[in-house]
Structures are given as C-alpha cells and as structure tokens.
Amino acid sequence: MRFVPLLLRLLLFAVLVSFLVSPDTFEPLLRPLVDGGTPAIYNQGSLLSLTLQHLEIVFAATLAAAILAILLAILVTRPFGAEFLPLSRSLVNIGQTFPPVAVLALAVPAVGFGAKPTLIALFLYGLLPIFENTLTALQNLPRSVTEAARGSGMTAMQRLLKVELPLSLPVIIAGIRLSVTINLATATIGSTVAAKTLGEVIIAGLQSNNLAFVLQGGLVVGALAVLIYDALSALEAMLSRRLGLR
C-alpha cells in the first residue's frame, strides 16, 4: 500500500505529459463544458510551450530569490551581521506585503511588459519562505555539532560550508518548496502584462466564457504544483535521512 501514492503521482505525471503533448486526445472529455462549435481545447497557442515558459519564469525567479534569501540569512546569523536582522526581515516581507498585482503595476512602467515584471513580482513573493526557513535552520543547529567543528580547528568559512549549510539543507529545501508552490499559482497573473504563462489560457477562457479553457489552465498549474511539491518533499526527506535527522 505504501507504493500507492507514488503510483498515483506517476499516473498524474503521465496524464499531464499526454495532455500537453497531445491535447486533442482529451477533447471528448472537455466537449460537454462548451457550447456548439466553441473549441474545447485551447487553440491560441501551444499548451506545452506555455507550460515550459511558465516553469522557466517560476524557476528563474525562485533561483534568484533563493540566492538572495540564503545569503541574507547567512549574513544575519554571523556575529558581524546580527544587527541587520530586523532590516533583512523588513526587506523580505515586502513581497508578502504588496500583492503581486500591485508589484506588476509598479514594475511595468519601469521595465515594460512581458516576463520582466512577472519575474520581479515572483522574486519578491518568493523571498520570505526561503529566508525564514534558512534563518531558522542556521539558528537551531545542534550546539554540540558546531562546537565540535570549532574545536577541530575549522575556520568560520569551513564550518559554514561543511557543517552548517549541509545540516540546514533539508529545511532550506522546505522553504524553496513552499516558494515554488506559491509562485506556480501566482505566475498566472503574469499574463495580464503579456508574460507567456498558463494564465494566458485561463484569461482566454474568462474572456470568452469558455469553462474548458479555464479548467485546462487551472488543472495544469495544479498538477505541476502537486508534482513539484512532492518531488521536493522527497528530496527533503532523503537528505534528512542521510543526515540522520529522521
């Protein structure tokens, strides 16, 4: 029975790939949702291409957010940077305080339409989970381990790279997992400023009152979120077992 969740995820992945590669195969399932000659399958672009572009924007924004958030967390957990903790928390909270739509509205006049304002919004929105998880992990390392590393003669940089970050990695990945999941859904609004995302399918459906289009965009985003969340959860669990944390 323990293999049932894995089999379900594999089935979901297979159905998702099949739909993106050959969406017309699923036309009979979606036909009851539309009237007359209205297309049941999104026909204003390639669903596979939109999905890949959606993922590209999300992963680029998450990577940039992870780099900055982890560096900030490292800085404020060092003796020389502890005084910057309140400021750092205020900075990473900006993305959660401002709605993504507001960030898009502010970014478009500065960088124009397309993927850039969406990247900025997702970057800001993804900072907080990664920063807080990294901060928590670095602040709650076993004291015996850090003292042993110090006693063995390791430099501060060696302790960070060989002890602190490896032990913190599962918790950091948990923050990245949350950030990616949030941004997968949030990225859909990027299509309002001409970014190529799956929001394009949802918006086309809303504009034409086509429930099939809305369902396609929503289900693909949902399936991606489930699969990526589970993949990162599995990675986190594997690292925790290897480090003896579980």
pLDDT in tens, 89-136: 888 888 778 778 888 888 888 888 888 899 999 999 899 999 999 999
Q: What is the tens place of the pLDDT at every residue in 58-84? A: 999 999 999 999 999 999 988 888 888
Residue 32 in any domain: the answer is no
Residue 18 in domain? no
Rg (CA), the chain: 21
How far is residue 28 CA from its own chain's centroid?
A: 32
pTM, whole model, 2 decimals? 0.90
Query: What was the pLDDT predicted at 86?
Result: 87
Per-residue b or e along 21-31, where b marks 16 or more CB atoms closer than 10 Å to that residue's CB: eebeebeeebe
Q: Report the alpha-carbon distance of residue 79 to residue 104 in Å, rounded.
A: 37
Would you say residue 21 lies in a domain? no
pLDDT band (50, 70, 90) for residue 215: very high
pLDDT given at position 203: 92
Picking from 124, 116, 77, 136, the residue whose alpha carbon sits closest to that of residue 96 is 124
Host domain of residue 135: 44-243
CATH of the domain at 112: 1.10.3720.10
CB 183 within 8 A of CB 195: no
Has residue 17 been placed in a domain?
A: no
**Contact (Cβ atoms closer than 8 angstroms) between residue 192 and residue 200:** no
pLDDT in tens, 134-178: 999 998 888 888 888 788 888 888 888 888 888 899 999 999 999
Q: At 14, is the pLDDT very low, low, confident or very high (cuts 50, 70, 90)?
A: very high
Distance of CA 93 to the CA centre of its chain: 17
Residue 10, in any domain of the structure? no
SS3 state of residue 41: coil
Q: How many domains does the chain have?
A: 1
Number of alpha helices (DSSP H) and beta strands (DSSP E) in the chain: 11, 0
Asked if residue 7 is part of any domain, the answer here is no
Phi, psi angle pair for 199, to nearest 5°:
-60, -25
Which of 241, 154, 237, 217 has the alpha carbon at shortest distance from 16? 217
Query: Which residue carries 């399958």 as its tokens?
Result: 41
153 domain-assigned: yes
Report how far residue 224's alpha carbon sits from residue 51's, in angstroms, rounded to the nearest whole number.
9
